Amino acid sequence: MKTKKLLIASVSVMAFASAAANANVQPEKINLQSLINTAMTSVNMAEVLPANDAHIDVKKQSTTMLSEQTQIELHKNLLAMAKREERAPVTAQSE
């Protein structure tokens, strides 16, 4: 009986020692900011992101539209001037 109690006592001591040793182990803290900094310095965003030339296309389209609208307004003004000239009698000055 004594050997049984001794065996149980030694097993419980080992379990307690194991639990105490595992309780002292802290999970490793990860420094997220250093991970982010490392990632930002090691990754070139120009290589990762696809080429985006949308700003060039928008600039070309807006320039074309502005040019077209300017031409339309100039045409309207020229027509208005021509109509005014047709209505006004042309008088030749004789000297």
Radius of gyration of the chain (CA): 44
Query: pLDDT tens digits, the chain, 95 residues: what are they?
Result: 666 666 676 777 777 777 766 666 666 677 888 888 888 777 776 676 777 778 888 999 999 999 999 999 999 888 888 888 877 665 656 55
Q: What is the pLDDT, as a whole number, of residue 64? A: 94
Structure token pair of residue 80: 């208005």
Domain limits at 74?
A: 53-88
> Considering the domain boundaries, does residue 83 fall inside one?
yes
Is residue 37 a part of any domain in this protein? no
pLDDT of residue 22: 66
Collapsing DSSP states into helix, strand and coil, what is residue 26?
Answer: coil
Whether residue 78 lies inside any domain: the answer is: yes
Give CA separation, 35 vs 1, 7, 41, 43, 67, in Å. 59, 49, 10, 12, 51
Q: For 19, phi and psi rounded to 5 degrees?
A: -65, -40
- Provide the pLDDT for residue 54: 84
Q: How many domains does the chain have?
A: 1
